Structure 1
Amino acid sequence: MGTKWINTWRVRWARVKRGGELGLSGLLLVVGILLSVALLPELPGLVRGTLAGDGETARTLFVCAAGIAVCMLQWRWRTAIYPQLRRDTSQKETS
């Protein structure tokens, strides 16, 4: 009787962890999209400033591009980063 209860809570905890990891990866994806949208109107000025030799503008452009890349790549490879997302959702533990 006790093992059935423990198995039930293990399955529930795994679902909660999976939902949390999926939520976190989705949140980071949204942050990357918002950063892209915010950078888009400023992009011509940043490129022009970078080509003119402004170091601060080049640093800003690099940091924004790196932030967008990290957000997009973590979404693309989320199953490698978040362990709970590696498991098949259709597979259920048998008790």
Structure 2
Amino acid sequence: MNTNIKWLDAWRVRWARVKRGVEMGLSGLLLMVGILLSVALLPELPGLVSGTITGDDEAARTLFVCLAGIAVCMLQWRWRAAIYLQLRRGTSQEEPP
């Protein structure tokens, strides 16, 4: 019966590592989306800013949405340990005794 418990503990550790890897991958993917969005926004930024200053609602909305999307992507990377539960734990806690 003790071998069954060890087998189950080993699978729990493996599953926790897989979940941790998936959460790291997802947070990295969202970071890349934020980077790509900021790179795509750079060439359009002067036109959007001048359009916003002159009162173009569509330019202001586009600028706001792009900046908010970039901010969300960057903040989720900065605070990924608070958002993704598996990233809160250290790898030493996942090892069976």
TM-score normalized with structure 1 length: 0.96
- The reply to whether residue 63 of structure 1 matches residue 88 of structure 2 is no
Counterpart residue number, 1:91? 93
Counterpart amino acid of residue 16 in structure 2:
A
Instruction: Name the Cα RMSD after superposition.
Output: 0.9
- The reply to whether residue 21 of structure 1 matches residue 23 of structure 2 is yes
State the SS of the aligned residue for 1:94: coil
Gaps of 5+ in 2: none
State the SS of the aligned residue for 1:22: helix
CA contact (8 A) 2:35 2:70 kept: yes
Counterpart amino acid of residue 91 in structure 2:
T
Offset, 1:65:
0.3
Aligned mates of 2:29, 2:58 — CA distance in 1: 28
Runs of 4+ more than 4 Å apart: none
How many equivalent residue pairs?
A: 95
Aligned mates of 2:23, 2:10 — CA distance in 1: 20
